[in-house]
Structure 1
Amino acid sequence: MYRSAGVAMAWNVFRFCTALRGLGSIMILLVLVIVGVTYYAVVLCNYGPALLAGGATTLAALAVLLLFHFLLAMLLWSYFSVVFTDPGSVPPNWNLDFDAEMGETAPLASSEFSSQMNSQQSVALGSMGNPRVRYCRKCNQLKPPRCHHCSVCGRCVLKMDHHCVWVVNCVGALNYKYFLLFLFYTFLETTLVTLSLLPHFIAFFSDIDIPGSPAALATTFLTFVLNLAFSLSVLGFMIMHISLVSANTTTIEAYEKKTTPHWIYDLGRKRNFAQVFGNDRKYWFIPAYSEEDLRRIPALQGLDYPVRPDFDGQEL
């Protein structure tokens, strides 16, 4: 009875993961449709025609359109950077470098580790000298620190935060910054659209005669409601991730370490921030890294993360 229930649950999870994979192009298309509807409402229906009004109205419309197009360009750049950037996968034959000064033994080869796992199923990984050593039975390989297996992608992802259906990709070590910038520019863009369309939304419920076709008015109303909803929801999501970055943790790790008093990777807000955004300020607000940061900050590669100096090996 329990066996059949377990098989049914595994089958259902597999179907769920397969369904998420199938959402790929649909979710990207949905994002582009929302962007297109917003563009039509803001540029073609309202502020584009306002450029011909003259005076202060023209200047206000020009300011809105310039800021709108800048934020839209940054939003799309960040979005497609998340979509097309591999979040980070485990290199072939990867093995953890052990610290001899901490009294740890030499690392095992993948085949040796697998053999030992098969012969000593009851032995905990922590007894091997390093509690950060983990093994993925699905991928049949060692897992680097902070690495987790994604059932949707079907592989281990470096510093995995979550699998996001909106970007049709995992959010991990190599694209986490791009994801945060996508949230940031989405919030700014949706807030701008909400504020710029607010007078039109208010006029929609007043006795004022509003120029434009019924389709344009309906699109403006829909765009205002959509952008207001996205702005509020993204704000909450962004605040959550800001707190995660400040503590140098991920969504998965925050859940796993609920009872851990001290997080071993929390090096202080400044160093935690640098492990996601780098040190070069010119690159903080664009989805890219400087060569200097990539060379000097190993954490940006997703495999090597420094720990607190007071880490005693028992806090995981």
Structure 2
Amino acid sequence: MHRSGVVMAWNVFKLCTALRALGSIMILLVLAIVGVTYYSVVLTTYGPAVFHGGLETLLAFFVLILFHGLLVMLLWSYFSTVLTDPGGVPLNWRPVYDEETGVADPLTATEFGATPSDEEGRSIRFCRKCNQLKPPRCHHCSVCGRCVLKMDHHCVWVVNCVGALNYKYFLLFLFYTFLETTLVSLSLLQHFIAFFGDGEISGSPGTLATTFLSFVLNLAFALSVMGFLIMHISLVAGNRTTIEAYEKRTAPKWRYDLGRRRNFEQVFGTDKRYWFVPAYSEEDIRRIPALQGLEYPSKPDLDGQELYQ
């Protein structure tokens, strides 16, 4: 039994090392997909169509303007997610009061064992790997090797953890990726159908192959990202992370669920001008503690109660 535990730990370590090694490779892969798509849509299909005249020119202008606008937002959101620290525990952090007191948190129990208590005997979450106290909703990432505030998951596509400080940017990345890949799929659909027709198709073999590849890749991403986007929309509506939805699925009530509007504001802020850009207003950062990842309002009637079966 002990031997199998050692083997499992070693395998997990190898997996984490492999994920870290992907790093720039995943970023290059994303840029390569963008490059192939840009070549197919702009340089070989709708760019030349601008000079054809009539309705074809109007359609080409519409597709190109929308394509470039969504591409800018997609890349802005993507690199904001990649480059923004998801949030780490401040040095010598101490809780003002414990927001998860008296709760048999399955993640705490299985990963960290017994937890220390404060002066009133309330449970305080503690990470034995980082050797530090853990704020509410904070979890340890084995890939990053540290605790991450309001950790949702570690994403290989953004080569970063998705946590309190970049979760909005990740959601916008999914949103604009879905819109962009859907636009590309619809724009190239007629060319994809032409591959299986009896008529002649203009263009070199390389151009045709690139267009075919772009359509297949973008359609696949549109369908897969749509599923992730729907899942995360439901998580935001209930004020849960992916980890919380999985580890605490037996909870009859969730103390941080303050209603859809307030749950949404804890991720996107209250300033509507910033809802669709990867940034926050200074007023929202000042007024909404949840955006900093250390404090989260909860339902008063659920404070201190046992929430897990």
With normalisation by structure 1, the TM-score equals: 0.90
Is residue 215 from structure 1 mapped to residue 214 from structure 2 by the alignment?
Answer: no
2:54 alignment counterpart: 55
Q: State the Cα deviation string for residues 224-265 of structure 1 (Å, max 9, x = none).
A: 111001000000000000000000000000011111110000
1:315 alignment counterpart: 307
Supply the distance in 1 between the matched residues of 2:116 and 2:31 (Cα, whole angstroms): 46
Supply the distance in 1 between the matched residues of 2:246 and 2:26 (Cα, whole angstroms): 27
Structural mapping, 1:3-82, within 5 Å: 3-82=2-81
Shift of 1:28: 0.3
Shift of 1:8: 1.6
Structure 2 contact 78–170 (Cα < 8 Å) conserved: yes
- Equivalent position amino acid for 1:98 in 2: Y
Shift of 1:122: 8.1
Q: State the Cα deviation string for residues 8-44 of structure 1 (Å, max 9, x = none).
A: 2111111110010000000000000000000000011
1:94 alignment counterpart: 93
Supply the distance in 1 between the matched residues of 2:114 and 2:2 (Cα, whole angstroms): 25
Q: Gaps spanning 5+ residues in structure 2: where?
A: 102-111
Shift of 1:130: 3.3
**Percent identity between the aligned chains?**
74
Supply the distance in 1 between the matched residues of 2:259 and 2:114 (Cα, whole angstroms): 35
Supply the distance in 1 between the matched residues of 2:92 and 2:263 (Cα, whole angstroms): 29
- CA 237–139 in structure 1, closer or farther in 2 if over 3 Å, else same: same
Is residue 206 from structure 1 mapped to residue 197 from structure 2 by the alignment?
Answer: yes
- CA 200–123 in structure 1, closer or farther in 2 if over 3 Å, else same: closer
Structural mapping, 1:1-316, within 5 Å: 2-98=1-97, 125=116, 129-131=121-123, 133-313=124-304, 314-316=306-308
- CA 61–39 in structure 1, closer or farther in 2 if over 3 Å, else same: same
**DSSP-derived class of the 2:154 partner:** strand
- Structure 1 ranges of 4+ moved more than 4 A: 121-128
Shift of 1:208: 2.1
The CA RMSD over aligned residues, in Å, is 1.7
**DSSP-derived class of the 2:266 partner:** helix
**DSSP-derived class of the 2:251 partner:** coil
Q: Gaps spanning 5+ residues in structure 1: where?
A: 105-120
Supply the distance in 1 between the matched residues of 2:69 and 2:254 (Cα, whole angstroms): 38
Supply the distance in 1 between the matched residues of 2:268 and 2:5 (Cα, whole angstroms): 42
**DSSP-derived class of the 1:199 partner:** helix
With normalisation by structure 2, the TM-score equals: 0.92
**DSSP-derived class of the 1:163 partner:** strand
